[in-house]
Amino acid sequence: MNPKDILQAGCDILDPLLLPYGFDRLPIQEGKSSGGHFAFTEYRRGHRRLELHYRYSLGMVTYHIGGLSLEHRDYMRVVLGQRGGNQYPGFSNDPLDGFRHLRHDLEHYGQAFLEGLDEEFRRVVKTAARLPTGFKALSAE
């Protein structure tokens, strides 16, 4: 399967969760770069967007509210702490597992984005900005 087809199948996993919250999905776009073929789409509701990119696996997952943006990894670090508990990203040979894992995380930990007030998401973004990054985060505690 090509990236566009896999992204479509992945969105079929996410649609039943996101559409009832009032999100609409934009048409899937595709392209080719030096890294190969890729596809991307967004779910939108007002000024909230969930941006998804697929190349060889579900890669960049970014939340946006207005001018604020936050990667999924950082969102989960704020909500769950260093030890996590989130399923995405994970390791699997099934290209759709990334979408299943993302859906799990959204269902269980994504309320600030799905239905929270803008200020709640702003607090998550501000907290994420203060978190250590890279190897420092691995040694912090």
Q: What is the DSSP string of 40-80?
A: EEEEEETTEEEEEEESSSEEEEEEEETTEEEEHHHHHHHHH
Whether pTM exceeds 0.85: yes
Domain total of the chain: 1
User: Do the domain assignments include residue 119?
Assistant: yes
Q: Is residue 137 in a domain?
A: no
Domain that holds residue 117: 3-129
Whether 88 is covered by a domain: the verdict is: yes
Per-residue pLDDT of the chain (141 residues; tens, 9 = 90+): 899 999 999 999 999 999 999 999 999 999 998 888 999 999 999 999 999 999 999 999 999 999 899 999 999 999 998 777 899 988 888 999 999 999 999 999 999 999 999 999 999 999 998 887 653 433 333
**Rounded to 5 degrees, what are φ and ψ at 55?**
-125, -80
